Amino acid sequence: NDYYIITNRHVVVKQDNACTNIKLYLGSINLYLPCEIIAYDKKVDIALLKVTTEVLLSVARLGDSSLLKKGRFAVAIGSPYSLESYFNTVTVGHVSSPSRLINEDNYFYKDLTNEYIQIDTTINVGCSGGGLFNLEGELIGINTWKLYDSKENIDNMNFAVPINLVKDLFVHY
């Protein structure tokens, strides 16, 4: 069976070089499976991977991020710090903004505006590429980054790429 995995580009591409030895960790059965990068987008920081296995895997239903409302619950899943020790850590919070446009300077593009789901659901280092779900269990975003600035007393501002944007990018796959 072929399965497709959505994650962040920065998780599988380092300094503009695609990683060639990517393995999907299945913590519930303590198994690593080789995957390949099918496509990625630098601007949006999203990648699509493919894994082939005879192991029957659970598959997330894709939601509709255009239906998100401020104040709705959001559930983030990721594996912070140590993949095997903290596999599939879950944090719960709320949607602060369903469509936050952020102008950012990044390594590849100057003055780029991207759309994100802003959440107060905690995203720790290592949770990049994990899923953001609604209470119906639908994937509504891909956890991407957090804003933290101790000098400005900013904390718990976290961001996910909306799943509708991901669908638009990878519609041909």
Q: Which two tokens stand for residue 132?
A: 């953001």
| 148 vs 134: CA distance, rounded Å | 24
Enumerate the β-bridge partners of residue 47: 7, 40
Catalytic residues: 10, 45, 128
Q: How far apart are CA 155 and CA 142, in angstroms?
A: 20
* DSSP at 31: E
Q: Any idea which residue has 């939601």 for tokens?
A: 63
Q: Which residue has the tokens 């082939």?
A: 52
